[in-house]
Amino acid sequence: METLVSIRNLKVSFRLDRSHSFEAVRGVSFDIPKNATVALVGESGSGKSVTSLAILGLLPRENSIIDPASRIDFDGRNVIELPAADLRGIRGSQISMIFQEPMTSLNPVFTVGYQLTEVLRLHMGMRPAQARKRAIELLDEVGIPDPEYKVNAYPSQMSGGQQQRVMIAMAIACEPKLLIADEPTTALDVTIQKQILDLIAELQRKHQMAVLFITHDLAVVGEIADHVVVMRNGEIREQGPAKRVFENPQDPYTQALLQCRPRLDRRPVRLPVIEDFMDGGAHAMNLTERVRGIATSDPIILDVRKLGKDFYSREGLFGRRKFEAVKDVSFRLPKGKTLGLVGESGSGKTTVGLTLMRLHEASAGEAIFEGRDILAMSQRDFMPYKRRIQIIFQNPYASLNPRFTVGHILTEPMDIHGIGANAQERTELAFELLQKVGLPEVSFYKYPHEFSGGQRQRIAIARCLTMKPDILICDESVSALDVSVQAQVLNLLQDLQDEYKLSYIFISHDLAVVKYISDEIMVMSEGSIVETGNSDEIYRHPRESYTQRLLASIPKGWQGGHA
Amino acid sequence: MANDIALKAPRNSARELPHTVSPGLWALAWRRLKSDHVGVVSLAIVVVFILMMIASGTGLIARDWSKEVGVNYAPPSFIGADIEAGAPAAPAAPAAPTVPASEYKSDVVDPLADVLAELKGEKKPAGAEAPAAGASTAGAGEKSVDPLADVMADIRKDAKEKKAEVAEARLPTLPLGGDKWGRDVLKKTIKGSETSIFVGLAAAAVATFLGTLFGAIAGYYGKWVDDAFNWFYSVFNSIPYLLLILAVAAVLQQKGTLTIILILGLTGWTGTFRLIRGEYLKHKAREYVQAADAIGASNTRRMFVHIFPNVSHVVLVQLSIYTVGFIKAEVILSFLGFGVPVDVVSWGSMLNEAQNELILGKWWQLAAAGTAMAILVTAFSLFTDALRDALDPKLKGLAGA
């Protein structure tokens, strides 16, 4: 197969200050053949995005150093040594890129048609009328309904999936030889992700492009990649044809990546984590099945009846428009069990959690906790109950106050609720909890910015545990984490549930994770519950078509069907 | 700064861990500021000025600024006395020591003495205030002269004191020259810095405090509270600035340093208000504030313990910008005559005096006050820039990585 891009011994480092630099990519070599899809897989910090930016010549000049011995040959020319003007010519027309966040990559003040025609006129030299005609064709090609009308729409008038389609249309507008897709589906719902993956695969075949697909999720790659390159800490751990890598992974890290993700068909007591593989003890893991499910005899801790939440948006001078975010939601949460809440973005699942915490005030319904309706209480009466229902947010980077030390973060709730007799006792308890969530004691004195995402989520969990809650709401708590870290946090949550008999409401769009950790699952769509049932039952025999569609969209990993 | 952070970490922990306290965001900002040479130099200059202000305020230096130590319009030493000596001061300067004290004095009070003599019908003996006063109270016919006699007594007393001063030889030149009355311009500049910098800092503190408090309340509570503050703000902002200042000055009706501080502070909060309100709007929706709500933190706690440290860098930069602005504003107000009272010296009042002096070619008072102000304002502005760079939250990611 003919080679389009050949990367040889690429080394990139970043200057941090005068005396320190950080080597982000340490000698990476791989090829991208013409008319094929190469997947570059790695967790955060693996150097995968830096590699792709190097191909485009987009690394910041002020603080990045590319080793002079590195070569990136694109169509026979070394990109590293090309002058800036030539690079620009290549960039728009021969190599193009799709980014993770379509919302921030499109300019919100121009119509999508304007942005598309700009690309066409700039790189293809088309006249306005011609460019507009082509823009409509492109929108049609990427599957935007009613393209003649949508060409005049602003990005904000489109959904996330449509915006990503527009980005793809812009990327393929100049018939590039290479399309770089950097986590193009990570920000999207699972059903949309499926559609976008299909679209990229289809366009690749149709236009005979090479695609470099960058992702942290091996499962996503399985359906579209011909070749897989696995990176970790700036080095390539394993590369080869997709079939070989998926069916017979050689490197323990690749094995770990494939195993860490919860699977739909199995539920081990503990999820395997990277460490299980890296020291060679791959088979010493406890792979006994955990039994999940709810029995009618389980005591109920929280009984939610006909919960509703309306939002109002201003319309015109005096008008208000009502938007029902949550409609008529009822469920019962048994003690020590996990209730999974699944749905696409906008389905109201997060609102349910926030309303139960009274971070939003409910518009209707009641929630009975120990015989009292916690939604009808005054804020003052609610105070003693507040600590007993706690929440772990999605983004561990945003949910910890950056100006507080971890010690302050952990002792503050105890101060507020009068837990522990004095400051010393609280400090002791904080140290205990740090140990429980697997962080060293010295963390007590550090600031959140010194921790990685997974560690921060542990801090957030420890903060909730200081209040000895009965119910823990996990709002997409592991969605922002790398696969291997996600497994660690899920294991921690399970251990804590076993030890303290905590009840979880686990909110996520990731069906595999929800299936793994839940006893019972509620599927939500447009504010209402579509289906409820024991978790295994729902996955095996989904009754509603919406649930079936959700399940069908889950990336299946290697299917063995192509290549 | 690093020590401050260290103090925040609980010391009462039961275990003494061999820990190193990690630098907080303030410590990191301080580190960045230290590596900025312009910032360090300008900070040093600002600190020198502030030390000067404190020294002058506590009376360590420039206490006797109002003493007329030089000849009228004494030129700066580096120019020398000759240029000045040409016209008006030349006869006066040598005259002062040679003329006998009593004659000199009577010379000064001459016109009034004549009037008095006319009224009393007698030649007044030089230096005899007591009899004069006694006579005025005793004689019935002289009662009508009473007020003038009192004035006379004052004038005589003044003249006597002046005589004593003049008796000490007035200096022909002063380090940075002298003003109309021969007061030392250098001391005036130092004393003036006390007023100007103090007014600048205090007014900035008042304005930033008000702006931050209003902004925090409006931004945090939103809804009708926000609307109310915004109406108030808009009304306030729709009045031309100088007019507003003049109006407040008229209402307060007394000149004084405190009045100036109040005028500037009460009219200057609007900029900070808008900025801080925006920051609070942004921050109250952040997850860490929701998390604080979830752990049961009260509104006040969320506003001031959780959000405030995260917007405090904005407040600090505002404080710095305002100080520069208000030092200039004080000068302008004093220049226009709405500023400090005449018995207080400030850079503005110096510049005001310099107006008339310039016509006579006496430029040094203008130069001294202008240069001092220019140096301070420039240094303060550069420091503000450095401060903003050091505190810029966009750099946080780099620092944390």
Segment A462-484 mean pLDDT: 85
Taking the domains of chain A in order of start, what are their residue ranges? Answer: 3-94+178-250, 104-173
Segment A362-366 mean pLDDT: 86
A401, B310: Cβ pair inside 8 Å? yes
Dihedral sign from CA coordinates of B139, B145, B146, B149 = negative
Asked which of A157-161, A253-257, A376-380 is least confident by mean pLDDT, the reply is: A157-161
Chain A neighbors of B401, CB-CB under 8 A: 16
Q: Does A391 touch chain B (CB under 8 A)?
A: yes
Specify the pLDDT at position A77.
82
> Residue with structure tokens 């006792």?
A425
Do the Cβ atoms of A478 and A513 come closer than 8 Å? yes
What CA–CA distance (Å, rounded) separates A499 from A293? 18
A399, B24: Cβ pair inside 8 Å? no
Band (A516; pLDDT cuts 50, 70, 90)? confident
A405, B24: Cβ pair inside 8 Å? yes
pLDDT score of B214 more than 90: yes
Give the model confidence (pLDDT) of B221-231 as tens digits: 988 899 999 99
Band (B247; pLDDT cuts 50, 70, 90)? confident
Band (A381; pLDDT cuts 50, 70, 90)? confident
Q: Does B125 touch chain A (CB under 8 A)?
A: no
* Contacts with B395 (C-beta within 8 Å, 6 or more apart), sequence order: B32, B389
* Contacts with B157 (C-beta within 8 Å, 6 or more apart), sequence order: B129
Q: Among B357, B354, B58, B62, which residue's Cα sits nearest to residue B189?
A: B62
What CA–CA distance (Å, rounded) separates A201 from A219? 15
Q: How far is CA B17 from CA A415, A441, A445, B11, B88, in A?
A: 23, 8, 10, 10, 79
Segment A351-366 mean pLDDT: 86
pLDDT score of B4 more than 50: no
Give the model confidence (pLDDT) of B277-287 as tens digits: 999 998 888 88
pLDDT score of A562 more than 50: no
Minimum-distance CB partner of A417 among B17, B286, B296: B296
What CA–CA distance (Å, rounded) separates A51 from A8? 11
Chain A neighbors of B14, CB-CB under 8 A: 424, 427-428
Q: How far is CA A315 from the centre of its chain?
A: 34
Specify the pLDDT at position B169.
62
Band (B213; pLDDT cuts 50, 70, 90)? very high
Q: Is B180 exposed, middle or buried (0-12, 13-18, 19+ CB in 10 A)?
A: middle
Q: Does B1 touch chain A (CB under 8 A)?
A: no
Taking the domains of chain B in order of start, what are their residue ranges? Answer: 24-61+184-400, 92-167
Specify the pLDDT at position B42.
87
Among A445, A477, A479, which would you mutate to test the B interface (most chain B Cβ atoms within 10 Å of its Cβ)? A445
pLDDT score of A298 more than 50: yes
Specify the pLDDT at position B15.
43
A445, B294: Cβ pair inside 8 Å? no
Specify the pLDDT at position B92.
41
More confident residue, A14 or A265: A14
Specify the pLDDT at position A345.
77
Give the model confidence (pLDDT) of A115-140 as tens digits: 888 888 888 888 888 888 889 988 88
Asked which of A37-41, A246-250, A280-284, A311-315 is least confident by mean pLDDT, the reply is: A280-284
Asked which of B283-287, B298-302, B358-362, B385-389 is least confident by mean pLDDT, the reply is: B358-362
pLDDT score of B123 more than 60: no
Give the model confidence (pLDDT) of A152-199 as tens digits: 888 888 777 788 888 888 888 888 888 898 888 777 777 778 888 888
Specify the pLDDT at position A545.
87
Segment A434-463 mean pLDDT: 84
What CA–CA distance (Å, rounded) separates A153 from A114? 10
More confident residue, A286 or A240: A240
What CA–CA distance (Å, rounded) separates A258 from A256? 5
Q: How far is CA A55 from CA A33, A91, A214, in A?
A: 14, 9, 13
Specify the pLDDT at position A157.
80
Band (B134; pLDDT cuts 50, 70, 90)? very low
Band (A537; pLDDT cuts 50, 70, 90)? confident
What CA–CA distance (Å, rounded) separates A343 from A247? 31
Specify the pLDDT at position B99.
42
Query: Among the CATH numbers 3.40.50.300, 3.40.50.970, 3.10.129.10, 3.30.40.10, which is that of A3-94+178-250?
Result: 3.40.50.300
Find, in chain A, the residue whose alpha carbon is nearest to that of B311.
Answer: A403
Specify the pLDDT at position B128.
45
Average model confidence (pLDDT) across chain A: 83
Does the structure's ipTM exceed the value 0.95? no
pLDDT score of A83 more than 90: no
Percent of chain B scoring above 90 in pLDDT: 6
What CA–CA distance (Å, rounded) separates B320 from B331? 17
Chain A neighbors of B21, CB-CB under 8 A: 445
Give the model confidence (pLDDT) of B15-43 as tens digits: 444 445 566 667 777 887 887 888 888 88
Minimum-distance CB partner of B296 among A403, A413, A423: A413
Specify the pLDDT at position A49.
84
Can you give the three-state secondary structure of A260-328, one letter per residue?
Answer: HCCCCCCCECCCCCHHHHHCCCHHHCCCCECCCCCCCCCCEEEEEEEEEEEEEEEECCCEEEEEEEEEE
B8, A444: Cβ pair inside 8 Å? no
Band (B96; pLDDT cuts 50, 70, 90)? very low
Residue A239 belongs to what H/E stretch? strand A235-241
What CA–CA distance (Å, rounded) separates B73 from B174? 9
Which residues, listed in sequence order, are joined to residue A311 by a DSSP beta bridge? A323
B25, A447: Cβ pair inside 8 Å? yes
Query: Among the CATH numbers 3.40.50.2000, 1.50.10.20, 1.10.3720.10, 3.40.190.10, which is that of B24-61+184-400?
Result: 1.10.3720.10
Q: How far is CA B366 from the centre of its chain?
A: 17
Specify the pLDDT at position A561.
44
Among A360, A403, A476, which would you mutate to test the B interface (most chain B Cβ atoms within 10 Å of its Cβ)? A403
Residue A485 belongs to what H/E stretch? helix A483-500
Other residues' Cβ atoms within 10 Å of the Cβ of residue B317: 20
